[in-house]
């Protein structure tokens, strides 16, 4: 019996050694000869967009494949997509493993002219809003986008999703995935230069390597300033140390949070948005650089390319947060904050859940329509939070709810 066990053990060692040598040094799969591999590789083409704008970028770099036996798998692309011509085109992706198993996926890509703002909208997402106007439309959109997945402002363990990571993805430079685009300057800057502990910043965040000169950081800018509605206050609201010491909800909603220059963020502060060149509240005009201005008692005008983006972010906030359970605040837009608070404190120190200036925001929405950057950002945030900004997908909803710059409709907040 002992001899039999010894022989079996010796055979196991010999076979194991043979398999190891054949695979490691001879690139032969002996197991494959005994148990044939008949399973084809799995292609992952989920990153491919089925609609691309005219002269846009058709990106295939994130298509991958996995095999049940082989450690690596390469994707072969058959054909190409010419985005200079409107119409439908096909492209094929395939992968072959060492056993010769082949997987193949053919896709039809539609090249569209201009910006199709609904190109990423899931089928049926806005069906319940069809044919509605005014407050009924606003309420229905609220029902559609409420209940999104919330993430902490800062993940204390640095491993899980938080606002920092969402902005790194949402504001990523399309030409350099190690950088983000800063909101107020359109400047491409290193993702690692985020406003955390200055001692941990890489040397390239500083003007020179002695780490004694000025440094450039980016941080998280609330387009709807958190003091206007006081939604950073944890009293009676979702607030836990595990969330990084901040409330969730409006405070961490990435649909109105952007990567911004630390200095410009401080300049904007909790100023209201207004046009500093329209002859109204234009005194105290200060050029803040990159096309941004401050003026009047407490107003901020962003660069032209971001004016429509700002407006649609604020329209989103005034729709998403309606004072329902879990919202904490009911945010609304107004043409004149003096209607709701004494003039002496209505501008800088107001904590009322209102934001100005509705007339100007409606005009900015028309003057700076949705572009590809905004469209892609909305889709990226949707992938994290599970809700969308309706006024990027359907710009026409803005007028149906708030009217026109010459005849705006206001809604009164239910929170004090």
* pLDDT computed for residue 349 by the predictor: 79
Q: Is the pLDDT of residue 286 over 90?
A: yes
Q: Is the pLDDT of residue 224 over 90?
A: yes
Strands 64-66 and 102-112, by their bridges, are unpaired
* pLDDT computed for residue 135 by the predictor: 97
Distance CA(395)–CA(250), nearest Å, equals: 22
Q: Is the pLDDT of residue 258 over 60?
A: yes
pLDDT digits (tens, 9 = 90+) for 116-148: 899 999 999 999 999 999 999 999 999 999 999
* pLDDT computed for residue 240 by the predictor: 46
Across residues 60-65, what is the average pLDDT?
Answer: 86
Q: Is the model more confident about 3 or about 84?
A: 84
pLDDT category of residue 291 using cuts at 50, 70 and 90: very high
Least confident of 129-143, 186-200, 382-396: 186-200
pLDDT digits (tens, 9 = 90+) for 317-372: 999 999 887 788 899 999 988 888 777 667 777 889 999 999 999 999 999 999 99
Distance CA(241)–CA(328), nearest Å, equals: 19
* pLDDT computed for residue 238 by the predictor: 45
Look-up of token digits 């708030």: 402
Across residues 149-163, what is the average pLDDT?
Answer: 83
Q: Is the pLDDT of residue 403 over 80?
A: yes
pLDDT category of residue 35 using cuts at 50, 70 and 90: low
pLDDT digits (tens, 9 = 90+) for 170-191: 999 999 999 999 999 999 999 9
* pLDDT computed for residue 87 by the predictor: 92
Which H or E element spans position 53?
Answer: strand 51-53
The DSSP call for residue 69 is S
Q: Is the model more confident about 381 or about 5?
A: 381
**Start-to-end CA span in the chain (Å):** 88
Across residues 222-248, what is the average pLDDT?
Answer: 63
* CATH 3.40.50.300 given to domain 42-112: no
Distance CA(140)–CA(128), nearest Å, equals: 7
Top-ranked range on mean pLDDT: pick from 25-34, 201-210, 388-397: 388-397
pLDDT category of residue 99 using cuts at 50, 70 and 90: confident
Find, among 142, 121, 182, 162, the residue nearest to 324 by Cα: 142
pLDDT digits (tens, 9 = 90+) for 294-316: 999 899 999 999 999 999 999 99
Residues linked to residue 78 through DSSP beta bridges, in sequence order: 92
């Amino acid at each position: 019996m002992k001899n039999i066990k010894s022989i079996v053990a010796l055979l196991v060692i010999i076979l194991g050694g043979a398999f190891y040598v054949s695979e490691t040094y001879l690139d032969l799969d002996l197991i494959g000869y005994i148990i044939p591999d008949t399973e084809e590789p799995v292609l992952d083409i989920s990153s491919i967009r089925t609609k691309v704008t005219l002269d846009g970028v058709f990106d295939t770099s994130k298509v991958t494949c996995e095999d049940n036996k082989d450690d690596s798998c390469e994707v072969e692309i058959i054909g190409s997509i010419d985005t200079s011509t409107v119409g439908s085109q096909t492209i094929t992706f395939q992968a072959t493993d060492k056993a010769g198993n082949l997987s193949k996926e053919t896709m039809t890509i539609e090249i569209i002219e201009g910006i199709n703002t609904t190109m990423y909208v899931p089928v049926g997402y806005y069906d319940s809003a069809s044919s509605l106007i005014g407050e009924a439309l606003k309420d229905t959109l609220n029902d559609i986008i409420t209940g999104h997945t919330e993430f902490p402002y800062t993940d204390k363990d640095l491993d899980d999703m938080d606002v920092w990571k969402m902005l790194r993805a949402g504001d990523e430079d399309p030409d350099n995935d190690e950088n983000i685009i800063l909101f107020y300057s359109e400047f491409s800057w290193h993702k690692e230069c985020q406003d955390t502990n200055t001692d941990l910043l890489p040397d390239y965040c500083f003007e020179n390597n002695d780490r004694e000169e000025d440094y450039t950081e980016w941080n998280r800018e609330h387009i709807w300033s958190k003091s206007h509605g006081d939604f950073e206050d944890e009293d009676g609201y979702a607030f836990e140390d595990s969330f990084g010491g901040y409330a969730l909800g409006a405070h961490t909603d990435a649909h109105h949070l952007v990567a911004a220059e630390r200095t410009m963020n401080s300049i904007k502060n909790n100023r209201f948005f207004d046009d500093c060149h329209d002859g109204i509240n234009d005194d105290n005009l200060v050029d803040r650089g990159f096309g941004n201005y401050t003026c009047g008692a407490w107003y901020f005008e962003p660069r032209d390319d971001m004016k429509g983006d700002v407006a649609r972010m604020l329209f989103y906030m005034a729709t998403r947060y309606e004072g329902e359970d879990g919202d904490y605040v009911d945010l609304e837009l107004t043409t004149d904050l003096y209607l709701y608070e004494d003039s002496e404190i209505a501008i800088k120190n107001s904590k009322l859940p209102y934001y100005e200036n509705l007339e100007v925001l409606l005009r900015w929405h028309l003057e700076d329509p949705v572009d590809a950057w905004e469209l892609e950002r909305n889709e990226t945030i949707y992938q994290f939070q599970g809700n969308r900004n309706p006024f990027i997908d359907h710009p026409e909803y803005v007028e149906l709810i708030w009217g026109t710059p010459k005849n705006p409709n206001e809604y009164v907040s239910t929170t004090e």
